[in-house]
Amino acid sequence: MAGLRVVDLSTVVFGPYCTQTLADLGADVIKIEPPEGDTVRVIGTPAHTPGMGPVFLRLNRGKRSVVWNMKSPTGRAALEKLLATADILVHNIRPEAVARLGLDYDTVRALRPDIIYVHCTGFGLAGPYAGLQAYDDVIQAASGAAALLPRADGNPRPRYLPMLFADKVSGLHATYAVLAALVHRLRTGCGQHVEVPMFESIASFNLVEHLCNATLVPPTGDWGYARQLDPTRQPMRTSDGWISVAPYVDDRWQRFFQAVGRLDVFERPSLADKTLRRQNMSEMYLLMTDLMPSRSTADWLALFKQIAVPAMAVNDIGGLKDDPHLQAVGLFNERQHPTEGAYLEVRQPVVFGGCTLPELRHAPHLGEHSDELLRELGLLPADPMPPDAR
- Note whether 87 and 199 are same-domain residues: yes
**Interval 1-12: pLDDT, tens:** 999 999 999 999
Q: What does the pLDDT average to over 104-114?
A: 97
Query: In terms of DSSP bridges, do strands 341-346 and 332-337 run parallel, antiparallel, or are they unpaired?
Result: antiparallel
Q: Is the domain of 260 the same as that of 344?
A: no
- Note whether 356 and 305 are same-domain residues: no
Q: Does residue 387 register a pLDDT over 80?
A: no
Pair (256, 359) in one structural domain: no
> Could you tell me if residue 95 is inside a domain?
yes
The DSSP code sequence of 237-289 is: E-SSSEEEE---SHHHHHHHHHHTT-GGGGGSGGGSSHHHHHHTHHHHHHHHH
Residues 177 and 298 reside in one and the same domain = no
Q: Say if residue 382's pLDDT is above 90.
A: no
Crossing angle for the helix pair 250-259 and 281-291, to the nearest 10 degrees: 30
Q: Tell me how far apart the alpha carbons of residues 57 and 361 are, in angstroms, rounded to a whole number.
A: 11
Question: Which of 167, 222, 251, 273 does the annotation list as catalytic?
Answer: 167
27-67 pLDDT tens trace: 999 999 999 999 999 999 999 999 999 999 999 999 999 99
* Distance between first and last Cα of the chain: 39
Note the pLDDT of residue 177: 98
* Pair (12, 158) in one structural domain: yes
Q: Are residues 240 and 268 in the same domain?
A: yes
* Residue 174 and residue 196 in contact, taking contact as beta carbons nearer than 8 Å: yes
**pLDDT (tens digit, 9 = 90+) per residue, 219-275?**
999 999 988 999 999 999 999 999 999 998 999 999 999 999 999 999 999 999 999
* pLDDT at residue 95 tops 90: no
SS3 64: strand
| Same domain as 153, residue 290 | no
Same domain as 184, residue 246: no
Domain range for 289 is 236-313
Same-domain pairing of 264 and 380: no
Q: Which helix (H) or strand (E) holds 16?
A: helix 14-24
Please give, one letter per residue, the 3-state secondary structure of 165-213. Answer: HHHHHHHHHHHHHHHHHHHHHHHHCCCEEEEEEHHHHHHHHHHHHHCHH
Q: How confident is the model at residue 386 (pLDDT cuts 50, 70, 90)?
A: very low
**352 inside domain:** yes
Q: Measure the CA–CA gap between 245 and 297, rounded to whole angstroms.
A: 11
Query: Last residue of a domain, which of 281, 313, 345?
Result: 313
Answer yes or no: is 322 within a domain: no
Per DSSP bridges, beta strands 88-91 and 5-9 are parallel
SS3 call for 66 = strand
Q: Answer whether residue 203 shows pLDDT above 80.
A: yes
273 assigned to some structural domain: yes
Task: State the average pLDDT over residues 145-171.
Answer: 95
pTM above 0.75, yes or no: yes
Q: How many Å apart are CA 59 and CA 21, to the nearest integer? A: 9
* Residue where one domain finishes, among candidates 282, 313, 344: 313
Is residue 251 part of the annotated active site? The answer reads no
Let me know: does 212 contact 155? Beta carbons within 8 Å. Answer: no
- CATH number, domain of 155, equals 3.40.50.10540
Both 187 and 51 in one domain: the answer is yes
What is the domain-level CATH number for residue 289?
A: 3.30.1540.10
The residues near 6 (Cβ < 8 Å, ≥ 6 apart) are 19, 22, 23, 27, 28, 29, 30, 86, 87, 88, 89, 90
Least-confidence region, from 250-259, 295-304, 360-369, 372-381: 372-381
State which H helix or E strand residue 19 sits in: helix 14-24
Looking at the structure of the chain, the number of domains it has is 2
Q: Are 304 and 347 in a shared domain?
A: no
The per-residue pLDDT for 383 is: 62
What local confidence, expressed as pLDDT, does residue 384 receive?
A: 54
Does 291 fall in a domain? Answer: yes
* 228 within some domain: no
